[in-house]
Amino acid sequence: MAIDIQKFLEIFLDERGLHRTHEKVLYVQFILSSDEADYSFKNVFSGKRSAMFRIKQWFTSQDMSIPEIGYIIVLTDYFGQAHAVVEITDIKTVTYKNFTQEMALAAGVEGGDLDVWRATRQAAIMADCEAMKIVFHEDIEIMAMWFDLLYPQ
């Protein structure tokens, strides 16, 4: 029988001297609506998606530390339910206008098409801006965080 995500976290974190509330363990809402849950997590599980993206200011607005390489991220759905555990392997901070084809490809966009990425993600970015009471602009900093999937495998 497969181990569930909560048991995995307990064992994994204990082996590394970490705990669920350690500053290097973050719970991050991976999707902004219940409609995209299956599709988004399937892309992570299949390896089609190997990176996540957030406005850099989002982490401080949530009283979270800014992720660094080696941080453990628990990816949750719209309702806060954990679905995956990843470890950050690389980070790049770019402005929205300088988001690259490589980043779009890592986000699971077929062929890395930037127009498709912008069409599908701009609403989510603008929703984050609205929640933080900041104005969206082309120079807003986006954190691109590549990851290795730890759970499920």
Residue keyed to tokens 């929640």: 131
What pLDDT is recorded for position 33?
A: 62
Q: Quote the number of domains for the chain.
A: 1
What pLDDT is recorded for position 1?
A: 44
What letter represents residue 45's amino acid?
Answer: F
What pLDDT is recorded for position 35?
A: 64
What pLDDT is recorded for position 124?
A: 84
Q: How far apart are the first and last CA of the chain?
A: 13
pTM, 2 dp: 0.89
Q: Tell me the residue range of the domain where 89 lies.
A: 5-151
What pLDDT is recorded for position 111?
A: 83
Cβ-in-10-Å burial (0-12, 13-18, 19+) of 44 comes to buried
Q: What is the dihedral of CA 91, 93, 98, 102, to 10 degrees?
A: 0
d(CA 39, CA 97): 26
Q: For residue 148, how far is the Cα from the chain centroid?
A: 12
Question: Cβ neighbours of residue 43 under 8 Å, at least 6 residues apart?
Answer: 49, 108
What's 92-110 look like in SS3? Answer: EEEEHHHCCHHHHHHCCCH
| Cis, peptide link before residue 67, omega less than 30° from 0 | no
d(CA 76, CA 44): 12
Residue keyed to tokens 């609403």: 123
Tens-of-pLDDT digits for all 153 residues of the chain?
A: 468 999 999 999 999 999 999 999 999 988 766 666 677 888 899 999 999 999 999 998 989 999 999 999 999 988 889 999 999 999 999 999 999 999 999 988 888 889 988 988 888 889 889 989 999 999 999 999 999 999 998
Is residue 52 within 8 A of residue 145, CB to CB? The reply is yes
Residue 129: give its domain's CATH number.
3.10.400.10
Give the other-Cβ count within 10 Å of 119's Cβ: 11
Is residue 102 within 8 A of residue 112, CB to CB? The reply is yes
What pLDDT is recorded for position 13?
A: 96
What pLDDT is recorded for position 31?
A: 75
